[in-house]
Structure 1
Amino acid sequence: MRRCVPVVEEAAERTKLWWGAALVMAAWGGTRGKRAALAGLTAMAVSETLSNAVAKPLWGRRRPPKELIPHDDVEDRPDSSSFPSGHTAAACGFTGAVAVVWPAAGTVCALPAAVVAVQRVHSGAHYPSDVAAGAAIGAASVWAVRRLPALLHRVIS
């Protein structure tokens, strides 16, 4: 775990991992891949907005104290609120939306999404409850993205 943490942390920064996955799906997945990529990116955007622009400002939770982290790699942590985990929200939102459109691709995305969630706690950036809240926001974003076209259709009609 200690060896893969820096790799996962770097890939998850600024959602590079999910943009890369969307690019691969769109380039080689045909129409289904393009739909899955669009759904994933849309849910990721909703997740990030809800977690970073809505929820984080409401809760000023401090990051876990260094004394609780069982290793010394805790110097490079964000200054923003710990609650909820935006990385986890983005990972779960992207993965869940992709899985709805293309289950096989969603299954492939599930492993790195889980590693991102575990890494956020392991790195000392978040408490487990921050990660759980991020996952819930990601799931809610998938639901919203799936329902949005029907809701807009009703409003416009």
Structure 2
Amino acid sequence: MSGIAAMAVAQVLSNGVAKQLVERPRPPKEWFWHEDVEDRPDSSSFPSGHTAAAVAFTAAVTPTWPWAGAACAVPTALVAVERVHSGAHYPSDVAAGAAIGLAAAALVRTAPRLLLRHLG
């Protein structure tokens, strides 16, 4: 459950907050030779919400299920690489998405303890 919650928090932080604060255009189409570059979103390039969600899920499940985290690590890395390769993001967008994903996972893992400490 923490993986899904971390993904949700990462999506809110990346797409609901950061993309609204930073209006960065997508990389120029001329940089890419493939046709996939035509199917890009119109929203801000910064940060990568896909990367944020993938990293958040992987980071949230790894402490509890290390084998699942290891299994998720390769697809998570592939998501990050694909976002740059497709022309949807700059590498810095992906790095920021990864940082947001890590922060979301940490928040989801520590929030219950902080809440119980505050209430108890």
Give TM-score scaled by structure 2 length.
Answer: 0.97
Unaligned runs of 5+ in 2: none
Runs of 4+ in 1 over 6 A off after TM superposition: none
Which structure carries more relative contact order (alpha carbon 8 Å, separation 6+)?
A: 2
Q: Give the Cα separation in 1 of the matches to 2:102 and 2:51.
A: 10
Q: Shift in Å at residue 155 of structure 1?
A: 2.1
Q: Shift in Å at residue 125 of structure 1?
A: 0.2
**Corresponding residue of 1:85:** 48
Q: 1:74 aligns with which of 15, 33, 37?
A: 37
Aligned residues: 120
Q: How does 1:5-154 map to 2 (within 5 A)?
A: 38-154=1-117
Whether the 8 Å CA contact 1:39–1:101 is kept in 2: the answer is no
Whether the 8 Å CA contact 1:40–1:95 is kept in 2: the answer is yes
Kindly provide the amino acid, as one letter, of the partner of residue 104 in structure 1. W
Whether the 8 Å CA contact 1:121–1:131 is kept in 2: the answer is yes
Q: What is the percentage of aligned positions where both structures have the same residue? A: 66
CA RMSD of aligned residues (A): 0.8
Kindly provide the amino acid, as one letter, of the partner of residue 116 in structure 1. V
Q: Shift in Å at residue 150 of structure 1?
A: 1.1
Deviations 1:69-106 (A, max 9, x none): 23232111001100000000000000111111100011
Q: Give the Cα separation in 2 of the matches to 1:104 and 1:50.
A: 27
Kindly provide the amino acid, as one letter, of the partner of residue 56 in structure 2. G
Residue aligned with 1:63, SS: coil
Deviations 1:19-64 (A, max 9, x none): xxxxxxxxxxxxxxxxxxx011011111011001010000000000
Q: Give the Cα separation in 2 of the matches to 1:60 and 1:120.
A: 18
